[in-house]
Amino acid sequence: MQATVTLSEQETLRRQKLEELRKAGINPYPAEEFLVNVTAADIKENYERDKLNYKTISIAGRLMSVRDMGKAAFAEIQDATGRIQIYVKRDEICPGEDKTLYDLVWKKCLDLGDILAIEGYVFTTKVGEISIHVTTFKMLSKSLKPLPVVKTDDQGNAYDEVSDPEFRYRQRYVDLIINPKVKKTFELRTKLMNTIRTFLNEKGALEVDTPVLQSIPGGATARPFMTHHNALDMPLYLRIANELYLKRLIVGGFDFVYEFARNFRNEGMDRTHNPEFTILEFYAAYRDYFWMMNTTEKLLEKIAMDLHGTTDVQVGDKTISFAAPFKRISIFGAIKEHTGFDVSKMNEDELRDVCKKLHLEVDASMGKGKLIDTLFGEKCEHTYIQPTFIIDYPIEMSPLTKKHRTEEGLVERFELMINGKEIANAYSELNDPIDQRERFEEQVKLMERGDDEAMFIDYDFLRALEYGMPPTAGIGIGIDRLCMLMTNQPSIQDVLFFPQMRPEVNNNNAE
């Protein structure tokens, strides 16, 4: 049964105007093409120095404000590049006897939010504002819902609906109309990704695509989303990482590959976590984690320069410098510095005791690796504001990483911390198939103890390694978190067009 839609008074009035237009033979949603030859930004930037090019212009945009003066009006339209003022005069757009276009369409049936096609010429008003003198206009799309305005709550306190995160994230399309800075954030996000592509392409990397639906959720320790493929009658998982497929390509003979991957993890949500997220992973043969640290520094330095023209980026009340080189410290060194405990030689029981002394929650399913991860995550991670490489992890935390060349029990891994959060994770990749099999088997033991984030054994990946993978460096960089930093946004929801949200409750307009 279809839900009954309850309309507000304004929505009812707009639908009445819609019917009046149709009765007058005016299609409020015409199908024919309208050729735009100029934008608001172009006019404002270039008109004063090249006025002859703006004698006949065609522009389209959304009506955002109107100042009515009887037989004339000033208004503002907004296109993809910004707002510009327009001037409409009744006798000029309706030079004959028929004044329908002005009296019915403009005066009676037009609303804020309607999308118009406008033809005219550019001029400068007496107060010096560059404007468009309209010679004709046409309705392209009638808006049936009013744009948000400042409202007052039951206590008389004013609030702006479009500053409410719940409204903004759920109705991003309205957020983009009303808040110009939001659009700028997403334009910078695209510029950031284009900078990365250019950087990697110039180094000879090949952009690739790997499967999103996987028979084994490999490449990371995370809880997956599960689905079922009917034709094959088999379970499938949304990928938690693309690492193992990219390394298969290194086995196959590609020396440098990268992918912007949409990954999915069935875990918690907060200001830095969304169940689906974008990660950049790239892998280079015949390289190690030292090369990867140097490359990562150069990449982030370039991103900051391309987006802001400086390596100093404002993030909240902090200034973060992306100028290379970044600080480097071992994970055991970081834990000792911030807790006073040297855990480098401790066994699982001793680590559990340290966690309890520091009032950290632990349970029997947590092995040595998770205990160390908890210590670092709870006591150290948030302290690293400036870019810092945390290096040389214990082998128990890194089942896909090559053993350290000089330090027993460690692996050649780093995580990049910025503004108190992990931004990147990288290794000298494990390419010994026997060692890799043993690491996977240790993960199975953790799974049997109740660790639902432990890795599955990927037998096909082991088979690939047995054909031989060259020494390789690999990295995963969280694009959403990096965008938060580079655009000064406090929440991951602010850099995702449509973040995951709970279903709307008691909203009969959300069908």
Q: Encode pLDDT of 376-389 as tens digits.
A: 999 999 999 999 99
The continuous run of DSSP H or E covering 63 comes out as strand 57-68
Q: Where are the domains of the chain?
A: 9-141, 180-209+242-326+386-495
- CB contact at 8 A, 18 and 24: no
Distance between CA atoms of 256 and 254, rounded to whole angstroms?
A: 6
Mean predicted confidence (pLDDT) in 213-234: 91
Topology (CATH) of 9-141: OB fold (Dihydrolipoamide Acetyltransferase, E2P) (2.40.50)
Mean pLDDT over residues 315-319, rounded? 97
Tens digit of each residue's pLDDT (9 = 90 or more) over 485-502:
999 999 999 999 999 998
In this structure, which topology does domain 180-209+242-326+386-495 adopt according to CATH?
A: BirA Bifunctional Protein; domain 2 (3.30.930)
Q: What mean pLDDT comes out for the span 283-290?
A: 98
Our CA angle for 346, 293, 299, nearest 5°, is 145
Helix (H, G, I), strand (E, B) or coil at 278: strand
| pLDDT tier at 52, thresholds 50, 70, 90 | very high
Beta strand segments in 293-409, E? 312-315, 318-321, 327-330, 388-394
Q: Are 17 and 109 in contact (CB under 8 A)?
A: yes
CA nearest to 279, candidates 265, 295, 294, 298: 265
Q: State the pLDDT confidence band at 509, using cuts at 50, 70 and 90.
A: low
- Residues belonging to the chain: 511
Tokens of 270: 């907060």
Q: Is the pLDDT of residue 456 over 90?
A: no
pLDDT at position 1 is 37
pTM of the complete model: 0.90
Model pLDDT for residues 387-442, shown as the tens digit of each residue:
999 999 999 888 889 999 999 999 999 999 999 999 999 999 999 999 999 998 98
Share of the chain above pLDDT 90, in %: 81
Question: Which is more confident, 1 or 136?
Answer: 136
Confidence of residue 222 (pLDDT cuts 50, 70, 90): confident
Q: How far apart are CA 76 and CA 110, in angstroms?
A: 13
Peptide bond into 325 cis (omega under 30): yes
The pLDDT of residue 137 is above 70:
yes
Average pLDDT over residues 167-176: 93
pLDDT at residue 157 in the model: 56
The pair of three-digit structure tokens given for residue 166, joined into one six-digit string: 């719940």
* Average of per-residue pLDDT values in the chain: 93
Element (H, E) at 284: strand 276-285
Average confidence (pLDDT) over 129-153: 89
Considering Cα of 54, then 59, then 64, then 67, what sign does the dihedral take?
positive
The pairs formed by 39-44 with CB atoms below 8 angstroms and a separation of 24 or more are: 39/79, 39/80, 39/81, 40/77, 40/78, 40/79, 40/81, 40/82, 40/83, 40/84, 41/81, 41/82, 42/81, 43/84, 43/122, 43/130, 43/132, 44/82, 44/84, 44/130
| Amino acid, single-letter form, for residue 1 | M
Torsion angle in degrees (nearest 10) through CA of 114, 118, 122, 123: -60
- Joined together, the tokens standing for residue 252 give 């196959």
**Integer angstrom CA distances of residue 118 from 41, 46, 70, 87, 217:** 16, 19, 20, 11, 53
Query: What burial letters (b/e) apply to 186-198, b meaning 16+ CB within 10 Å?
Result: bebbeebbebbee
Per-residue pLDDT at 507: 61
Separation between Cα atoms, residue 313 and residue 433, nearest integer Å: 43
Residue 53 DSSP code: G
Q: Is the pLDDT of residue 171 over 80?
A: yes
